[in-house]
Amino acid sequence: MSFTPKSLCIFCGSRNGNDSAFVEEAKKLARAMAEKGIELVYGGGSIGIMGVIAQEVLDHGGRVTGVIPEFLQKHEVGHSNLSELIITDSMHNRKRTMFERSDGFVVLPGGLGTLDETFEIMTWKQLRLHDKPIVILDTKDYWKPFQDLVEATISSGFAHDSARNLFSVAKNANAVFDCLKDIPPIDEKVFTSHL
């Protein structure tokens, strides 16, 4: 299945990490999104990779929608110059709003919040609540342990083989768009095999 997204939700860190490649690859992705007219939907922050990617999209003429819970906005980490800023009453509603506003998901390096978002959106896909593409941007092999964990769930009998097709892996920003052109099919057994 191939499609052209109008918007992509980016899950990423509220810190920059300790390797400049994380930030540089995020900037490349942001520039490509702006050039292709793809709206960025993200967590609304002004710090870390979140802030970097949002500012880069804006600087290159793109549209950015941020979604941030009220308690984080009160801590002044929200970006103040977005195309649109949506303030939610909870983290759960933040994730739901980002999901509803997006045609697909790209996961960049990040911390525990990024892991939470990634696992949840994958689980929703496994449960057939959506069929949107999920692409992991694996800068500097950051997501190798995550991929190993998914493989462990399969080899240990806790997930069907098709679980590995819930997401695609891109090694650089340009490859993200190649992944969106070649979305792996999901076997129904990824949902039904354990029922």
Which pLDDT tens digit goes with each residue over 5-58? 999 999 999 999 999 999 999 999 999 999 999 999 999 999 999 999 999 999
H/E stretch holding 11? strand 7-11
What pLDDT shows up at residue 80?
83
What pLDDT shows up at residue 191?
62
Question: Whole-structure pTM over 0.85, yes or no?
Answer: yes
- What is the 3-state secondary structure of 55-109? HHHHHCCCCEEEEEEHHHHCCCCECCCCCEEEEECCHHHHHHHHHHCCCCEEECC
Q: What stretches in the chain show pLDDT beneath 50?
A: 195
Q: Which residues contact 171 (CB under 8 A, 6 or more apart)?
A: 138, 139
Q: Is the dihedral of CA 31, 146, 101, 103 positive or negative?
A: positive
What pLDDT shows up at residue 75?
74
- Considering the domain 7-192, what is its CATH architecture? 3-Layer(aba) Sandwich (3.40)
In angstroms, the CA 21 to CA 49 distance is 11
